[in-house]
Amino acid sequence: PHVSSRPVLDVLRRHRRPVAIGCGSSMVHQTCEALVPVAIGLAVDRAVSTGDVRAVVVSVVGVLVLFTLLTSAGTYAFLVIDRAAFEEAHSLRTAVARAVLRDPAVLRGRQVGDALSVATSDTRHAAEALGLVSFLASGCFGMVVAAVVLLRIDVALGLGLLVAVPVLVLGLQALAPRLEARVHDRQRSAGLAAAVAADLLAGLRPLRGFGGVPEAVRRYHLASTLSRRAAVGAAGATSVVVGVSTLATGAVLVATAGVAGAFVARGRLDVGEFVTVVGMASFLADPVRNVSACVQQLAVSRAGARRVATLLAPPQRQRAEVRPHPGHPRALPGEVLGVVTTDTATADALTQALEGVGGAGGTLVEPAQTHLLGETLADALASGPVPAGRGVALEAALEAAAAPTELGTALADGGANLSGGQRQRIGLARALAADREVLVLRDPTTALDAVTEDRVAAGVRRLRAGHGTTVLITSSPLLLSRCDRVVLLTGAGRHASGTHAELLADPDYAAAVAR
């Protein structure tokens, strides 16, 4: 995938056949729908008013055939387009997930929530372009059919409707920004309330410890109240838009019926044409509204497709932006290398630089924050196929990480039913079981007590020494004391190398590892 100047066109090109079929079927559906008032008008003129039984039967059969064709074409169009849209959305989501898993460096400069939004909302919006193009084409074609029918009946009346209905619909669209703003406020406040609730639940134990539950509840009550008010405001705005739209559409229909009735009284129109004009006035608002909505939604699809395409930019373009620290260490084969930094920015820069090569099959960068996926502990430990010629037993990895060994243990959302230390040890066991040629661990023991941390330090050393290159970005003396070599990196660009014991004489190093 590449960043295209017209990403929506890329989506359409990938599904040329379904789009063509969908547009054709939608046009047939819209044409049949436009011809319904014509068919009813003809039935009134040639069957109902004359009382001819044969004409009545022919009219009924004709209307049934028209509705059958209308329904079949519309159903087939929806089937083809929806299938293509679902396939495209799934393909884009899979491509985004593959890009992130293959090379975490593509997330540089993005928050996790933003990447999740791209993988869910933006991929869906991009795929919706397939249906929008179909509806746009059918809406335009429906307006053309309606224009031809109306102008053939009466030029003046036809022109009046063709001007009045679009003006009405576009005028109603002026209310859309108000509704959109209210809906945006509702979504934002609901998201804020959910975030506050999630934070409260995640920190419930420490909140109880220092008596902060009442304050947390007060803040959630405030966020919930704002969310409720925004929801009520959005519902009110929706009601206003729907009410005004209904009244305006009804007014146009009443006015059309009045003018057409006057024309019938003067003999300018017959009864069948009167029925056709009134029916066409009711129909015409639908394609005009569809065209207007599709034009607006296509802008959303273009924005979503652009965000997806940007995230799927070639990895080398993403990696080229990395500016490594001049003292970035070079680990030797089979070495356990410790890295100590004097500031978080340097550690982040080093992690990003290593993530830039993390797409290689033999390298794994395990971040400090652990994410557990799956319903059980066994699911969370699954790390995919192990590289050929390598392999570490899961039991050995769990033992080295001092992690829980009950593989059938159920996991709540992201391991929420486990302590922070348990989640961290499970993530470490998963990384060890993956048994990559190069394993990078960022602060793997920050949530552990000293006794458990010492067990983990010994386990990692035992499992990885001489078996693969291991880089530990940490300030833990227990981990660093078991490294073959330790490198100190400072924010000023200075670096030093030696064993943990040797580097303790360095003031910067001693300050960094002091606890």
The rounded distance, in Å, linking the Cα atoms of 420 and 418 is 7
Give the model's pLDDT for residue 310.
80
Contacts of residue 480, Cβ cutoff 8 Å, sequence gap at least 6: 338, 340, 472, 474, 486, 500, 513
Reported as a pLDDT band with limits 50, 70 and 90, residue 2 is very low
Residue with the larger pLDDT of the pair 262 and 367: 262
CB 56 within 8 A of CB 101: no
SS3 384: coil
Q: Tokens at residue 501, please?
A: 């014991």
The rounded distance, in Å, linking the Cα atoms of 136 and 140 is 6
DSSP 31-79: HHHHHHHHHHHHHIIIIITTT-HHHHHHHHHHHHHHHHHHHHHHHHHHH
pLDDT digits (tens, 9 = 90+) for 439-475: 999 999 998 999 999 999 999 999 988 778 999 999 9
CB 331 within 8 A of CB 471: yes
SS3 363: strand
Q: Tokens at residue 421, please?
A: 């230390």
Q: Tokens at residue 60, please?
A: 């009924």
What is the residue whose two structure tokens read 């959910």?
194
What is the residue whose two structure tokens read 């590289």?
387
pLDDT beyond 70 at 93: yes
The rounded distance, in Å, linking the Cα atoms of 26 and 138 is 5
Give the model's pLDDT for residue 202.
65
Mean pLDDT on 102-118: 67
Mean pLDDT on 240-258: 74
pLDDT beyond 70 at 114: no
Amino acid at site 51: G
Q: Tokens at residue 31, please?
A: 């044409």
Give the model's pLDDT for residue 136.
83
CB 158 within 8 A of CB 151: yes
Taking alpha carbons only, the member of 360, 344, 298 closest to residue 135 is: 298
- Topology given in CATH for the domain delimited by 1-151+299-321: ABC transporter transmembrane region fold (1.20.1560)
Pick the CATH number of 336-513 from 1.10.760.10, 3.40.50.300, 3.30.70.270, 3.40.190.10: 3.40.50.300
Q: Tokens at residue 257, please?
A: 């019926």
Give the model's pLDDT for residue 177.
65
Q: Which of 64-78, 225-239, 243-257, 373-387 has the highest mean pLDDT?
A: 64-78
Q: Per mean pLDDT, which range of 130-139, 248-257, 432-441, 498-507 is the poorest?
A: 248-257
Reported as a pLDDT band with limits 50, 70 and 90, residue 293 is confident
Give the model's pLDDT for residue 87.
92
Task: Report CA-CA distances (Å) from 61 to 43, 57, 73, 275, 279.
Answer: 11, 6, 18, 19, 20
Q: Tokens at residue 163, please?
A: 């001007």
Mean pLDDT on 258-268: 84
The rounded distance, in Å, linking the Cα atoms of 307 and 10 is 14
List where CATH 1.20.1560.10 sits in the chain: 1-151+299-321
Could you tell me how many residues make up the chain?
A: 515
Helix (H) or strand (E) holding 135: helix 129-153
List where CATH 3.40.50.300 sits in the chain: 336-513
Give the model's pLDDT for residue 146.
82
pLDDT digits (tens, 9 = 90+) for 186-230: 656 665 666 667 667 666 666 666 677 787 788 878 878 887 887
Residue with the larger pLDDT of the pair 344 and 238: 344
pLDDT digits (tens, 9 = 90+) for 299-348: 778 877 888 888 887 544 443 333 444 555 677 888 999 999 998 888 88
Within 10 A of 44 (CB to CB), how many other CB atoms are there?
19
pLDDT digits (tens, 9 = 90+) for 404-432: 878 888 887 777 788 888 889 999 999 99
Residue 155 phi/psi, 5-degree rounding, is: -65, -50
Mean pLDDT on 138-164: 82
Give the model's pLDDT for residue 319.
39
Amino acid at site 127: A
Degrees to nearest 5, angle at CA 164 with 159 and 168? 160
Mean pLDDT on 249-259: 77
The rounded distance, in Å, linking the Cα atoms of 294 and 291 is 5
47 conformational bin, left if phi > 0, alpha if psi -120 to 50, beta if neither: alpha
Amino acid at site 441: L
Task: Report CA-CA distances (Å) from 73 to 5, 24, 387.
Answer: 34, 9, 52
- Determine the number of helices (DSSP H) and then strands (DSSP E) in the chain: 20, 6
Give the model's pLDDT for residue 108.
65
The rounded distance, in Å, linking the Cα atoms of 402 and 425 is 7
Residue with the larger pLDDT of the pair 114 and 291: 291
Taking alpha carbons only, the member of 479, 445, 446, 448 closest to residue 464 is: 479
What is the residue whose two structure tokens read 């059918």?
138
Question: Across all residues in the chain, what is the average pLDDT?
Answer: 80
Give the model's pLDDT for residue 76.
93
pLDDT > 90 fraction of the chain, expressed in percent and rounded? 20
Bridging pattern class, strands 495-498 and 485-489: antiparallel
DSSP 67-128: HHHHHHHHHHHHHHHHHHHHHHHHHHHHHHHHHHHH-GGGGTT--HHHHHHIIIIIHHHHHT
Give the model's pLDDT for residue 498.
93
Mean pLDDT on 20-24: 92
